[in-house]
Structure 1
Amino acid sequence: MCLYFVKDRCEEERAEHISDTKKANFCDYFKPNNKVFKMADNQKAAKAKAELAALFGDVVPEKNQDDESLSPTELAEKKLREMLNGF
């Protein structure tokens, strides 16, 4: 899941060699690779969030149709503005 880990080996020149990558290890140069995970199906993601909310007793906010057309940045800004409007 590291950006520098390519084809079963680390491409970062300064990193120590890890002989067994299956065991727990630590690297100062670890940088998460966001391309590792595939985009989840929206319906599956919504169902999983609802199940987690039910498990912990939280309320799942309903999505507006307008929210689906917004980028993640625009959606975060919208939520922030809604939170700050109360102050």
Structure 2
Amino acid sequence: MSEQFHCWQCGKPLEALILPMSRREECVACHADQHVCKMCEFFNDSGRGDCREERAEWISERERANFCDYFKPSMMAHINTKSLANERAKAEFAELVGETLVASEKTADKPKTAAEIAEQQLRDLLGG
């Protein structure tokens, strides 16, 4: 398997992971539960912790193991998508008003995530 799941809390690779993921699955490095809302593709990190799956029941503790029937593990759970979205929004705003952000120039030195690489390839392909 070329792609690998990572712990949502510490980011370490989850080796010997058997799918479908057991409710008792945990990270060997930090011992965090992995069958949790924050590890799910449907988790909406909008601050309220909503689930994008409309049929799922409300779960109050999003960092603890649960029995959600709609759980689908995410490959990107370990990446702080909120800060990436904030940086992207700031860069788009600066481009809109014709300014360049110093912080955006500094982040160019950081390695790009798989999503950023894919986005750049798509933009290059479409000429945007």
| TM > 0.5 | no
Structure (1 or 2) with the greater strand fraction: 1
Structure (1 or 2) with the greater helix fraction: 1
Larger radius of gyration: 1
TM-score relative to the length of structure 1: 0.37
